[in-house]
Amino acid sequence: MAAIKQFQVTFDCADPERVARFWCEVLGYVAPPPPEGFATWDAYNDSLPPERRNAGFACSDPTGAGPRLYFQRVPEGKVAKNRVHLDVRVGTGLVGEERLAALEAECARLVPLGAVRGQLLLADEENESCLNMQDVEGNEFCLD
């Protein structure tokens, strides 16, 4: 059996394009161009029946190294903590005050984009410091 090496991460959300564009800014990802025959995504969405407008949106790593992210509209809102979350690795290899400074700098960049700061978890005997955050629809992620 062949080993699977590629995967995509799918987010349930209320506004797929808004959440996707937030994650493009966080990760340096890019949105795909609008479908052939349409100058913009708005023009494409306007061509769809109302129930299909903004039903999904994707973004991907322009280098091809990271997974594709897909955002799908669902009718229900978020009601509990995510069972899976993304760790945005901004402090890899850093420790102590240097790591905390990197986490805080990235938090300061993301809050104006709509992210919400959560709890700072300080290093202990097993783990380095990380900072809990939420995206524009309340999905948890960590600055790690």
Q: List pLDDT tens digits, range 25-71.
A: 999 999 999 999 999 999 999 999 988 989 999 999 999 999 999 99
3 falls within a domain? no
Q: Is residue 42 part of a domain?
A: yes
**Residues 99-108: tens digit of each pLDDT:** 999 999 999 9
Q: Where are the beta strands (DSSP E) in 14-61?
A: 56-59
91 and 63 share a domain?
Answer: no
Domain boundary among 52, 73, 94: 73
Looking at the domain assignment, is residue 1 inside a domain?
no
Local structure of residue 92 (DSSP, 8 states)? T
More confident position, 1 or 12: 12
Chosen domain end from 73, 99, 114? 73
pLDDT of residue 79: 85
Amino acid at 78: K
Same domain, 66 and 94: no
What is the residue range of 93's domain?
86-143
For residue 5, the model assigns a pLDDT of 76
Tally the domains of the chain: 2
Based on the fold, state whether residues 101 and 64 are members of the same structural domain.
no
Which residue's entry shows tokens 């994650």?
A: 23
Q: 101 with 125, same domain?
A: yes
Under the banding of pLDDT at 50, 70 and 90, the label for residue 85 is very high
- pLDDT class for 130, splitting at 50, 70, 90? very high
Distance, in Å, from the CA atom of 37 to the CA atom of 95, rounded to the nearest integer, reads 50
